[in-house]
Structure 1
Amino acid sequence: MGGDNFKIPSYTLKHNGETVDFAIRSVEEVINIFGAQTDRPHRHDYYTVLWSLNDSGKHIIDYKDYEMHANDIFL
């Protein structure tokens, strides 16, 4: 990455084009909204609660990997 040339995008929480304070979305909805951008470094100006109901996977926060399993909650 080119140092000065790399900007990490920042996202605002929106629903129907309006900025909102709170939203509940499935992982599928998030992927539909943001696409592959969820796999790239990004920031957002809202808090996120992740609840993995059945699936497992990995969530990366500040370049650290966190394994997720069924019924895990990340705050």
Structure 2
Amino acid sequence: MARFHTLRRCPLTAQFWFLGLDARQGDLALRGFRKSPSPQGSSLYTLDDLTLHSAGLTLDLPGGALHFNRRTQTFTRNGRT
């Protein structure tokens, strides 16, 4: 009998790969993102309340910032998962 294991995959993995390509080709800047240096790693790309970084993203919302961490594949808001 065959056994199958399903691994949870983060749906944003491919999206971040494509965003990285867009950043390298300058397409994010063409779409209005502002590039700025980051204290660690790659540059930050900001458009309105959204900030992208190779480590994840931050979306500033009225109730607090929503963070996505690519390494842990988790979302947090106000320090809570």
TM-score by length of 1: 0.29
Where relative contact order (Cα < 8 A, 6+ residues apart) is larger, the structure is 1
Structure of higher CA gyration radius: 2
TM-score by length of 2: 0.28
